[in-house]
Amino acid sequence: MKHLALKGRTYPTDLNHSGTVFGGWIMAKMDKAASIAVEDIVLSGAVTVSVTDLHFLKPVRNGDIFTIYTEIVELGNSSIKIDVEVMVRCKESHEEYEVTNAVFTFVTVDSDGKSVNIRSVIRDDISDDIRALL
């Protein structure tokens, strides 16, 4: 199930010389949104270990409102895969469309940075759809 993870507006300082947002800027927002999704299901820390299937579909411009949705799609022994989708509402037309998507993989870690089994750090209040992935 998709969840709203992050929402905001783009500003001139987020733009490259072509007048669209930097790819790294949007990736950072996606990583932040994915980390929020991870914190909703585990009590430990977690680190990003990979980003795959990253697609920049359409540009994001100054003043656009971005909305980032996440969905936990797979739980391994210590890994968590999250689908991340970025939607934009155009400032002028108010049209909403997808601009970027990717799969982020996190690994749950202890305070020393060593991976830990998800089942040992899972929150008690996770949703049934997440529990079904265990």
pLDDT digits (tens, 9 = 90+) for 76-85: 999 999 999 9
Q: Where are the domains of the chain?
A: 3-131
What's the chain's average pLDDT?
A: 96
Q: Whole-angstrom Cα distance, residue 65 to residue 67?
A: 7
Output 129-133 pairs: Cβ under 8 A, ≥24 positions apart: 129/1, 129/72, 130/41, 130/72, 130/75, 133/72, 133/73, 133/74, 133/75
CATH of 3-131, one of 3.40.1710.10, 3.10.129.10, 3.40.33.10, 3.10.110.10: 3.10.129.10
Per-residue confidence band for 124, with pLDDT thresholds at 50, 70 and 90 = very high
Average of per-residue pLDDT across 95-122: 96
pTM: 0.94
